[in-house]
Chain A
């Protein structure tokens, strides 16, 4: 691939997806994009870039972006955020939303579905505590190919063995030959949709919990700040933002601050309200320091 084409691709990816591809990654672009060129019957990457320049909003662009993404994901990745979700975040919200009985959760970089399905399994197991509740679980990603796989709910033997406890595998999956499909009741809990994190979030509404994990690492500082600032507008004042292990809000946004003693969990700044005490049958969260916004609430 000639330097000019590679530069164009880097700019294209950055503008369209936020992905920062460093100048030494030409080999990666070539190996990932050759199959895309083949799919479009383009003889080489020069022709692929030419077609992209001619129609930057066409389907080729989507395939180029999808091909350059890192989609790795596991069930219950890093474990701790999912433990927090189950014993701290969710119980606090269940207490706080006991009148409207509605919780909205967003997985903002859902990839092949392991993250939203991990959350769905937890919600499913909490069943009785959420009886009569409307629980929405929206899972989005910029790439449609990974969402297709996510929707199918079909995983290889390798994929179901990374992070998924064997009890959960037996309980929530059906085996067909050497692949495993997540049960339809769990699948039915998740809505998958293509969505680009560079776009405006307003149309998605307000969420109680946002998982935005292992995607900001691919962006530069201004893009990270932009996403985090916009997330500040869609996370409920008493909601939570969960980032990946290598990600933070520190130095990037004024909208969130780290939740004490909960690595990877962030809360909207200066807008916390005290949650009422939990019903005895629910796991009791430790006291969470919360600030009352400007003393008005």
Chain B
């Protein structure tokens, strides 16, 4: 079973995402912000990360940049999942090493399609 870390400050979104990803046979971990997520990644890198942009403490963009500098930090597939839906944000995320990008609101089909796209399923 592959592991997916869901990073979002909204417990509602984490719950929705957890349900979808468990349905796709992922083992789920959750973090409320970038800092917590980075701590978890330092201990063990997941295969996939579903990442919000705006979060307290450390935002998704900063987290991604720090993650990619960790040893082995280029291995997790990172899928942004955010209301930052403009092309400038998307371009920045890709530049920082995001693999895919989901614009909220999203549904199960979109998550599935994007995870398929990056080869996670």
Contacts and interface: CB of A to CB of B under 8 A. Distances in A.
A251 to B, nearest CB: 31
A221 interface: no
Nearest to B104: A157
Contacts of B102: 161
Interface stretch (A54-62, A163-171, A269-277): A163-171
B101 A166 contact: yes
Interface in A55-99: 74, 79
B28 interface: no
B85 to A, nearest CB: 7
Given A157-B85, A178-B85, A165 B117 contact: yes
Contacts of A163: 113
Interface string B60-97: 00000000000000000000000001110011001000
A223 B100 CA distance: 42
A134 interface: no
Nearest to A161: B110
Query: Most B CB atoms within 10 A — which of A165, A169, A178?
Result: A165
Contacts of B103: 157, 161
A178 B116 CA distance: 24
A158 interface: yes
Contacts of A169: 90
Contacts of B109: 162
A178 B107 CA distance: 17
A170 B90 contact: yes
B100 A175 contact: no
Interface in A140-196: 157-158, 161-163, 165-167, 169-170, 175, 178
A161 B86 contact: no
Contacts of B106: 161
Given A157-B85, A162-B113, A175-B87, 9 more contacts: A157-B103, A161-B110, A162-B109, A166-B94, A166-B98, A166-B100, A170-B87, A170-B94, A175-B86
Interface of A: 74, 79, 157-158, 161-163, 165-167, 169-170, 175, 178
